Every structure is written in structure tokens, then in C-alpha cells.
């Protein structure tokens, strides 16, 4: 899509919203690019659904502005916004069949009959529901109803499509299948999608970029790869994927390296991994993060960044074996390839050595409570 002529660019500017004096959104700002698949991710109560409802015109913000293609829509009623919403509960009319549900919005606009037929025929194929045209919603499976809800939304050719946990009511296998279909559909349409979810795997599978919300504020925005490999806070590191977090104290800084004292013994990290706008100083309390798949386990001690430990539990997870290891009362998770000969010989009680690769340690300036 030609980004210079594309539509669907959305700006949220200093948006705030409270319910009964409780802040839900706190001066929140973000930009969504035209034609982007953008996800709002966060725990329950973080404000993501409230934000989506404000974008749809179903809630009014206390302050701030929402702009679509550089024009404010904050005062535009929901039914006049070039925005459609797909809800988790589908919201289909039970007395209408599939085709009638899809064409309902077009008939309300009194569009010419040939245009209605043309648009409906196209989305029946795009959403793969043409064979279901004559069925009523109660004759459809959950996945089929979700496809119909999507078709009914996109037939109106919105500039932005809002999705409020649209796959949350489906079983795991069907959810995976529809994730692929949803991403393919978005690419075919070139429409801006904004997707609310609390499912981190879903957000990473679908999104060009993700905004992670916490207590009504944005913790970080970035691509799934950036957020996973370069989180800016312990919250982002632990919310997107699994991350081991433990406290440490900076002992010294030498050029490109940082020496730490931690429960896992003395560690060396790269100074470039410090997530802080100001350089840390010796004696600073920090939080160290490392992903379980980046923790290395070996039968003998590596020369640096290693400590002896004991396997306390393990579980087979297909391509990986998940381990919990302990030393001096501290625990850590490590994921090893199940095909590894060493992994196949591990049992609870096995003594081994943990190695923390310096280039995989993330250092966060704020101290996390432990």
C-alpha cells in the first residue's frame, strides 16, 4: 500500500478517562500508522478496552483528542465514524441469516442494490462464509460466527477496524487457525486494524506493533521482536513472554561491561543492556532479567557468569524441556531443547551449573520487590 495516500492513520493525544474518580487512562498518547495491524496488550483493568471504546465513540474521554487522518473525531458520534468494531460476543442478529446480517449496515445506508450485492459477495469470499449464506447464527459454530462478524464489519469499508478480544471465546486450536486468517485478511484489505487482547502469544503472532498498557499508561510500544528482546522495564519483560527477574547491585563499570553482585554470584553484563536514560553508578540497586531459553545449563562450570545449582523440577513441553533450578534459596527457570542429550539425562536432584551469557542479561534501573 502506498503510505503517502493510505488512510486509517490514528492519533491518540493526551487521553484521560476516570470512572468514579478512579483514573483508567492517564494522559495516554500513541500513533497508529495507516494499514498497520496494531495491538493493545495488557492485564485486566489496564485500560485497553476503555481506550478501544473511546476510539469507537462508545465512551467519551474526560480530556485529550482522537484524530483520524489528522482530523479530530472526538465529537463525532459512533454511528458517523468511519470505524467498525468486532466484539467477542459477535453481536449477530439471530433472526437474520448470514447474508442478511452482513448486508444489514449497507441497507441502513440505503446504498444501491447492485453495490450491496457486489460488496456482500466479495466479503463472503474474503471471510470464507459463502457456503453459510442461508444459515442463521444459531446454526453456526463459534469460528463461523466470528467470520460472519468480521465480514459484517469489513463490508462497510471502515478506515479503521477495532477488534475487542475477537478470538477470546474460541478454543485454542480454532483460535490459532483464525489468527492466521485474520492476519491474511488484514493484509488483503490494507485496512488499519486495532486489536485488544490480553493474550501475549496472539498479539505477537498478529501485530506489526504492540502497545503494552499498565495502570492506564503505556509502558512500551514496538514490534513483537523489539519488545521481546529489548524490554524497557521489568513489567514488559515479564508480561511479554516469560522472564527471570532478580535483584542485583552494581559493583563497578569498566568500558563496555558492568560488574554485578547478585544472589547468583558475581555477574558481568554489557553496559549497553542498561535500560536507563542516565548511566548507573556503583552501588545502584537494579533488576536483572534473562529469558529462560537464554539460561545455559552444563555439567561443568563455565569460566565466568556461572553458579552451581540443583534441578528441583522439570517438565516436557514438546521441543523444550522446562527446568526449575535452585541455589541458596533462589530459583530460576531454564528451557533446554528436548533433543539435547544433556536435557534427556536431567532429573530432579541433578547437580549442574547455570551460565548467564553477558549479552543476554537485561538491566533495569528500578528495583522490583522480591
Strands of the sheet containing 244-254, edge to edge, are 265-270, 257-262, 244-254, 285-290, 362-364
Nearest CA-CA partner of 143 in 173, 102, 107, 113 = 173
Q: What is the reported pLDDT for 366?
A: 63
- The pLDDT value given to residue 344: 80
**C-alpha 95, offset from chain centre:** 36
**Within 13 A of 198's CA, how many CA atoms are on the CB side?**
11
Over range 362-370, report the average pLDDT.
68
Q: What are the Cα distances from residue 52, in Å, to 87, 168, 222, 254? A: 11, 16, 19, 47
Does the pTM of the predicted model rise above 0.85?
A: yes
The residue ranking higher by pLDDT, 67 or 144, is: 67
Contact by Cβ (8 Å): 48, 40: yes
Work out the pLDDT band at 370, boundaries 50, 70, 90. very low
Decide: 68 and 9 in contact? Cβ < 8 Å: yes
Give the C-alpha separation, 45 to 66, whole Å. Answer: 21
State which of 165-179, 205-219, 258-272 shows the largest mean pLDDT: 205-219
For 33, the grid coordinates are: 500508522
Q: Which of 10-24, 158-172, 227-241, 304-318 has the lowest mean pLDDT?
A: 158-172
pLDDT tens by residue, 126-146: 888 999 999 999 999 888 888
Number of neighbours of residue 305 by Cβ within 10 angstroms: 20
The pLDDT of residue 46 is 93
Q: What is the mean pLDDT of residues 30-48?
A: 95
Instruction: Match 480530556 to its residue by C-alpha cell.
Output: 63
Quick check: 246 and 287 in contact, CB under 8 A?
yes
Contact indicator for 345, 299 with CB cutoff of 8 Å: no
**Three-class DSSP category at 138:** helix
Rg (Cα) of the chain, in Å, rounded? Answer: 25
Report the pLDDT averaged over residues 218-239: 94
Measured CA to CA, the distance from residue 310 to residue 312 in angstroms comes to 6
Provide the 3-class DSSP secondary structure of residue 260. strand
State how far the Cα of 271 lies from the Cα of 362, in Å rounded to an integer: 9
Closest Cα to residue 195, out of 9, 6, 8, 37? 37
* % of the chain exceeding 70 in pLDDT: 95
Q: What is the pLDDT of residue 280?
A: 73
53 Cβ contact partners less than 8 Å away, ≥ 6 residues apart: 59
Residue with cell string 465514524: 81
**Residue 5 predicted with pLDDT over 60:** no
Q: Domains in the chain, start-ordered, CATH in brackets?
A: 10-235 (3.40.50.300), 242-364 (2.40.50.140)
Ordered strands of the 10-19 beta sheet: 22-32, 10-19, 63-68, 71-72
Reply yes or no on whether the pLDDT at 81 is more than 50.
yes
Cell of 144: 463461523
What is the maximum span of the chain, computed from C-alpha positions, in angstroms? 76
pLDDT band at 3 (very low <50, low <70, confident <90, very high): very low
Amino acid at each position: 500500500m502506498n503510505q503517502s495516500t493510505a488512510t486509517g492513520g490514528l492519533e491518540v493525544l493526551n487521553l484521560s478517562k476516570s470512572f468514579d474518580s478512579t483514573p483508567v487512562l492517564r494522559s495516554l498518547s500513541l500513533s497508529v500508522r495507516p494499514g498497520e495491524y496494531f495491538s493493545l496488550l495488557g492485564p485486566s483493568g489496564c485500560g485497553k478496552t476503555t481506550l478501544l471504546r473511546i476510539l469507537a465513540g462508545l465512551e467519551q474521554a474526560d480530556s485529550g483528542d482522537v484524530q483520524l487522518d489528522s482530523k479530530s473525531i472526538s465529537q463525532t458520534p459512533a454511528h458517523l465514524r468511519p470505524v467498525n468494531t468486532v466484539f467477542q460476543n459477535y453481536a449477530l442478529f439471530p433472526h437474520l441469516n448470514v447474508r442478511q446480517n452482513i448486508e444489514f449496515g449497507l441497507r441502513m445506508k440505503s446504498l444501491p442494490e447492485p453495490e450491496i450485492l457486489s460488496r456482500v459477495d466479495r466479503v463472503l469470499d474474503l471471510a470464507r462464509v459463502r457456503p453459510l449464506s442461508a444459515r442463521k447464527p444459531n446454526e453456526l459454530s463459534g469460528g463461523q460466527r466470528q467470520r460472519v462478524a468480521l465480514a459484517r464489519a469489513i463490508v462497510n469499508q471502515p478506515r479503521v477496524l477495532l477488534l475487542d478480544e475477537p478470538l477470546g471465546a474460541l478454543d485454542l486450536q480454532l483460535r490459532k487457525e483464525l489468527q492466521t486468517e485474520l492476519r491474511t485478511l488484514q493484509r488483503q484489505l490494507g485496512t488499519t486494524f486495532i486489536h485488544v487482547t490480553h493474550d501475549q502469544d496472539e498479539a505477537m503472532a498478529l501485530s506489526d506493533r504492540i502497545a503494552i498498557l499498565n495502570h492506564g499508561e503505556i509502558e512500551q510500544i514496538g514490534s513483537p521482536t523489539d519488545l521481546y528482546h529489548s524490554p524497557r522495564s521489568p513489567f514488559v519483560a515479564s508480561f511479554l513472554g516469560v522472564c527471570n527477574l532478580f535483584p542485583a547491585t552494581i559493583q563497578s563499570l569498566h568500558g563496555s561491561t558492568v560488574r554485578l553482585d547478585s544472589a547468583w554470584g558475581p555477574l558481568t553484563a554489557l553496559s549497553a543492556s542498561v535500560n536507563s536514560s542516565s548511566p548507573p553508578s556503583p552501588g545502584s540497586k537494579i533488576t536483572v532479567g534473562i529469558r529462560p531459553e537464554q539460561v545455559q545449563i552444563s555439567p561443568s562450570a563455565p569460566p565466568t557468569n556461572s553458579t552451581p545449582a540443583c534441578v528441583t523440577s522439570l517438565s516436557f513441553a514438546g521441543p523444550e524441556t522446562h527446568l526449575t533450578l535452585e541455589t541458596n534459596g533462589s530459583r530460576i527457570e531454564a528451557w533446554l531443547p528436548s533433543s539435547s542429550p544433556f536435557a534427556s539425562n536431567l532429573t530432579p536432584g541433578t547437580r549442574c551449573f547455570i551460565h548467564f551469557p553477558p549479552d543476554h542479561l537485561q538491566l533495569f534501573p528500578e528495583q522490583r520487590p522480591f
